[in-house]
Amino acid sequence: MSDETGMSITVCNYPPGIGKRNKIEHRLFSFISLNWKGKPKVNYQTVVSLIGGTRTRGGLKVKAVLDTNQCETGVEVSKEDIGQLRLKRHRVHPDRNYTLLPRT
């Protein structure tokens, strides 16, 4: 995708539990929980609609869209293919955090 768009893509994988330190995310989840409390979650579209209907007292509106695309599973990427990528590793946790630069 980086090559196709000509844009850099930054990937950051934070350790488990770090999301609770994100104040916006933490507050948003409580409003989502309140919004769908007591409502049956019978299918994906229902869940997405309930999440998308969430509004906070501070004015934050949630946009949620169901992605119905099928992703191929079991695809393995060779070390050779990974070696051809232009990765710029970050100083903090370079094994998990990096920027993928376009090759062209």
* pLDDT one-digit tens code per residue, 75-88: 999 999 989 999 99
Structure tokens at 78: 């060779």
CA distance 64 to 48: 6
pTM of the predicted protein model: 0.50
For helices 23-36 and 44-52, angle between their N-to-C axes, nearest 10 degrees: 120
Which pLDDT tens digit goes with each residue over 15-50? 655 555 666 667 777 888 888 888 888 999 999 998
Q: Please give the pLDDT value at position 6.
A: 95
Task: Decide if 100 contacts 8 (C-beta within 8 A).
Answer: yes
Separation of alpha carbons 88 and 84, rounded Å: 12
Contact 98, 89 (CB under 8 A): yes
